[in-house]
Structure 1
Amino acid sequence: MSALPDTVEAMRQLLARGGYVADQALATTVHLALRMGRPLFLEGEPGTGKTEIAKVLAAQLPRRLVRLQCYDGLDLSSAAYEWNHARQLMAIRLAEASGETDRAAIERGIYDRRFLQERPLLRALSSEGGPAVLLIDELDRADEPFEAFLLELLADFQITVPELGTIRAEVPPLVIITSNRTREVHDAIRRRCLYHWVDYPDAARERAILALRAPGLPERLSAEVVRFVQRVRGGDYFKLPGVAETIDWAQALAALDARELEPGPVDETLGVLLKYQDDIAKLRGAEAARLIAEAKQAAAA
């Protein structure tokens, strides 16, 4: 495991080596989270690169990545730990077969660490495999009561198992929580974290992202794609395209040997950029042609 970046600029360079172009504010917040040993809470629209930050940090530091994907109905047994009841029952039967009659001793024996099945939260505290980056992804998808399970972990990097005691991390993981803000995450979570809103990149940063993630694109095509997408994001669509869609769309156009935006290829590939038929129908045709003209003009300026 390499040393942590000692300046904000070093953090920006580390992220850039992993293909992530961070602005000054984001690089500062990530740097502070690492230096202060605090969890990082990233909130923003889908497709703005929140999850990618955790992946890049894990790859570049390097640390093992432990990911908890949140969903409706997520509970402690899926997120933190679960007792292996089948193995416990077998241990009870073996103890009884060997003549053990002390019920208290049998009970103490079955609530041992070897019978504990680690889920992502507990796995991130383990020293096995070295320090971790713990990604708690899309926390807003989980039920609100689940957030209470996280408070001890975020405050003290530990989990208390009633039958076993408190399990603490020898080396605290770097915790990154993401939210698409489909609901508000409780203040108790926010207070334990450093916070950053991850917005869509401006045109200059999106061009830099394309240069890193899709090298070899024709310069004119890259400039026009970014200007077109920036204008789409200013429209009234159900699901705005994220950075990943910009990259995919640019690569799709390049695969069709496009050197610049033209109405035909644009209309034919809108399914790469937009993910809902109503949005595609609204943009296709005259509206796309208008945005192409504006994108060409802006890219040439």
Structure 2
Amino acid sequence: MRSAWLHRLWLAGLLFFGSEIVLWTNIQREWIEWLLIGGGYLALAALTLEAAAFFRARSVFEALALAGMVGLANGLLLNPTTALVDLPRTLVTRAMGGHALMALAMIGMFTLITGARRTLAGLGIGAVGLGLFWGLWARWSPTELAAQPETPLTVLLGAGALTLLILTALARWLPTAPIPRLSRLDWALCLGILLALLIVRLMSNQLDSFALIAVPLLILYCLAVLYFRQRKKPGSFMDTGARAPAWTWLGLASALFLGAGALGYHLPRQTEWGDLLALVAVVFTAYGLIWLPCMSLVLGAQAFSRQARGFNL
């Protein structure tokens, strides 16, 4: 039990870090709102680990589907006022774009830290790249997206350092035991949290009919992809390794991330390549437009290839 919920809590912290700190979504929430979304991230983390184990996710395509579901659920239940503010545009650019991309990065971080195969170089490169983006995005995006003053560097680094300190402390205590599957009580708890969040959003008139139809359908499509990709061999890429979690690696990566964030904060926004903030927005939009069709095309081609071999075509 301790093993299960520590890993779920740690993944929840990573998802929170990616969507709330790196994307700097809405740092000025009321405390009750922070409690609500904290429970939401925990429920999403638990269900993500359960889906990875149940569908035996082992490839990048399953990772895309899992991250896509997290991004879509995040937009619907945790950040609808920003991710679904201008439908269908922000559904693509923010829920399926920024939030899904951050979920993919944090799932990768979880695998690097807790998995049997670890790559310190990959973790360091990822931390530097993410930090540069974070510094630039968190400084300028509030002025463009929310008509707010640019974020002070001290506030930015303070929020990042505090979150990473908590994550590093949690990683220190992560056990090496396999993560057990959700019990019926666990399922009831996770689904109850998500249902409560949905009710809150509906009562606050934060969701329209398009979001209530489109987002669940897209999540169901991702689930269908995972179902038809399910392997016979047990295990997934999110299984924990036999060695102790590399919490010292996370501490080093945190220092690199914060240093790169400070550097990214001071990068000039206008360069010879154009507006850097606009380029980041283009990346989010491209990812939101591409990942689902590309995943579908590749998996469809693989399925056709298997059928062709079966019929000796």
Of Structure 1 and Structure 2, which has the larger fraction of its residues in helix? 2
Larger strand share, 1 or 2 = 1
Question: What's the TM-score bracket when you normalise by the shorter of the two chains?
Answer: under 0.3
Q: Structure 1 length as normaliser, TM-score?
A: 0.26
The structure showing larger relative contact order (alpha-carbon pairs under 8 Å, at least 6 residues apart) is 2
- Bigger Rg, which one: 1
TM-score (normalised: structure 2): 0.25
